[in-house]
Amino acid sequence: MDFKDVPWKEVVIDTRDFVVFKDGFPVTEGHLLFVPKIEDWDSLAKCYKAAYAWGYDWVQKGICDSYNIGQNVGEEAGQTVMWPHVHLIPRRKGDMEDPRGGVRHVIPEKGNYRKGDSNGTR
């Protein structure tokens, strides 16, 4: 991949297997993209492993309270840059009113499947 063609410009780290970029339109402060240099399963798995480790480290250091990791695969799923990349989105207490449902919020009315329960549980 020629990284001059991607919309992300700010490199955080460039490794042998992937590049970590700051997201150009971050959902929260610190939103990163892990982009494999080769489009194959092994390279993408390394991105997921690195994103998970990075997020875990941030929680341990108190940089964020938790995190989401995700990927948009295909236009119908919201993918706009057609090269695989893994999002690491740091989360902090109070960054949204009710975060329950997490990644399910990709379809807003489906995010909080417990909404309306009297005690919030099933």
pLDDT at 46: 98
| pLDDT computed for residue 122 by the predictor | 42
For residue 89, give the DSSP letter: E
What is the pLDDT averaged over residues 91-109? 85
Instruction: Assess if residue 57 is contained within a domain.
Output: yes
Residue 116 within a domain: no
- Give the span between the Cα atoms of 48 and 50, in whole angstroms: 5
pLDDT tier at 103 (50, 70, 90 boundaries)? confident
In a domain, 56, yes or no: yes
- In the Cβ-directed half-sphere of 115, how many Cα atoms lie within 13 Å? 13
Whether 101 and 113 have beta carbons less than 8 Å apart is answered as yes
φ/ψ (deg, to 5) at 32: -120, 160
Mean pLDDT throughout 6-25?
93
Residue 94 has pLDDT above 70, yes or no: yes
* CATH number of the structural domain spanning residue 53: 3.30.428.10
Range of the domain at 42: 3-91
Count of structural domains within the chain: 1
Instruction: Give the mean model confidence (pLDDT) for residues 62-83.
Output: 94
What's this model's pTM, rounded to 2 decimal places?
0.87
Residue 31 has pLDDT above 80, yes or no: yes
Q: Kindly state whether residue 109 falls inside one of the protein's structural domains.
A: no
Residue 2 has pLDDT above 70, yes or no: no
